[in-house]
Structure 1
């Protein structure tokens, strides 16, 4: 199943759990094979792990996704986020914090940012940082769920009238269903 990406990274993480048009549940974080293509799509925003992720790694990512989703739901409903979700996000933020470095390349000094920690720790921290950015953004209240039946995708609309995660996918399905309803033969 092809998932839409390109929303803020934290929304893309939450959207790794989706429903197919038939209503079946699909989870990108179910296996390393289903997660790898998503990770490749995010390569401009996330560092790629140096080793394949394990089932235990994916369980940690699913847990983080659940906490992000819980905190996001609370923020969207304008209620306090559960303390356990915030504690989990804060823990993920601490495991591989970024640090600045300076190195010489010949006679030129260059600087940048690195992280210590395992591949999983770095990935969890990057995703938690993306959640922090989304959850503290004043526009987080604008996050919507796609209005198409069976779709659970969240998006941040660039236009206030946007109703679907994708006009080409969900929007088209709705338009086709409406057309069918208007033009179906009467018995």
Structure 2
């Protein structure tokens, strides 16, 4: 999910936003950094069943309205494009991904990783999953537990 990937560019150890945006073909700006915090807060609030602050997301969506474009490729193909400058389009794309998540039932399933010090969000494939990545955070917890049991 693009919205979760966007939010997870800020880990407890580093900020991977510039690299991630480059991989997505989107420009970096302070507004994108602010939007990331607003998306995270909205997702966590909606997950808990409360009303999130949607004003900043709606403003980002209005900054580069989407429109459909028809083209021909052996048949009519409908694609979606956005008006506005490059920065406004980037904000609108990211806010649109957040809107898709916030409007879906999956938002109620979003979890915060239980790994010590980990701040990443994820939508579990299995309802009992507790870590963003069982191979990293899950393994750290299991190793620490094993160490505590065998320390004496």
Q: TM-score, normalised by structure 1?
A: 0.73
CA-atom RMSD, angstroms? Answer: 2.1
1:114-142 CA distance string (max 9 Å, x none):
22222211111111111101111112111
Q: CA deviation at 1:89?
A: 0.4
1:77-102 CA distance string (max 9 Å, x none):
222223xxx11100111122221223
2:62 matches 1:94: yes
Which residue is equivalent to 1:66?
37
- CA–CA separation in structure 1 for the residues paired with 2:77 and 2:131: 44
User: What's the secondary structure of 2:132's corresponding residue?
Assistant: coil
- CA–CA separation in structure 1 for the residues paired with 2:149 and 2:75: 69
| Aligned partner (choices 132, 136, 156) of residue 99 of structure 2 | 132
Q: 1:115 to 1:160 in 2, by over 3 A?
A: same
Unaligned runs of 5+ in 1: 1-7, 21-25, 30-34
Which residue is equivalent to 1:112?
79
Larger Cα Rg: Structure 1 or Structure 2?
1
Unaligned runs of 5+ in 2: none
2:148 matches 1:155: no
| Aligned partner (choices 103, 108, 111) of residue 144 of structure 1 | 111
Q: TM-score, normalised by structure 2?
A: 0.88
